[in-house]
Amino acid sequence: NDRVAVALRRLGSGESLSVIGETFGMNQSTVSQITWRFVESMEERAMHHLQWPSKLDEIKSKFEKISGLPNCCGAIDITHIVMNLPAVEPSNKVWLDGEKNFSMILQAVVDPDMRFLDVIAGWPGSLSDDVVLKNSGFYKLVEKGKRLNGEKLHLSERTELREYIIGDSGFPLLPWLLTPYQGKPLSLPQTEFNKRHSEARKAAQ
């Protein structure tokens, strides 16, 4: 199938749209559309194998044992998959990341055993963690109350702690996404939280 061949060539080689288009006798927009449809199709198929756990008790227990953070359901992070693209093409600049590499972003939520709970890939390397997160299916599901919607933990008579995940300072602080305290000086409780936060993230890296 030529379409599959086009997508695999684009993803595997990192060659420009114009080079692949010339090889297969297609224009650049067609190559781009075929590649995105292929990625979307693979993601759709992967969803049958990658599902959010129906029960999170074991995951929460492991995170708390490792770091002392109760009711934590996962750690989110982003990595850049480096690609080989010609710098002379203006359209490729969107793939240029902060380290001046052409890359594709992969965002994942993992458990303490580094198993994927949610993953999305394909966004250009120039985008921020914040933008990728807020355009992900995971973000939309949480905002709709379909993820991290389990039982709240009662810490005291007036304090409840909902289910949440943790991420580094590149992510926004949200009711369900806890990031480290920034700035100096930090109070002792803030320093202790950052220590526990770091321990939980290390377990999932």
User: Which pair of structure tokens corresponds to residue 32?
Assistant: 């781009």
User: Given a cut of 70, is residue 119 above it in pLDDT?
Assistant: yes
pLDDT mean over 138-158: 93
Closest by Cα among 88, 201, 73, 205 to 149: 73
Residue 83 — very low, low, confident or very high, per pLDDT cuts 50/70/90? confident
DSSP string, 88-153: T-GGGGGGB-TTS-BEEEEEEEE-TT--EEEEEEEEETTS-HHHHHHTSHHHHHHHTTSSS-SPPE
Q: How far apart are CA 45 and CA 71, in angstroms?
A: 30
Write the DSSP symbol of residue 158.
Answer: S
Q: Could you tell me the end-to-end alpha-carbon distance of the chain, in angstroms, rounded to an integer?
A: 38
Q: Quick one: pLDDT at residue 88?
A: 63
CA 186 to chain centre: 28
Angle separating helix axes 188-203 and 57-67, nearest 10 degrees: 120
Cis before 86 (ω within 30)? no
Share of the chain above pLDDT 90, in %: 60
pTM of the model: 0.79
What's the pLDDT tens digit per position in 160-182? 999 999 999 999 999 999 999 99
Q: How far apart are CA 193 and CA 178, in angstroms?
A: 10
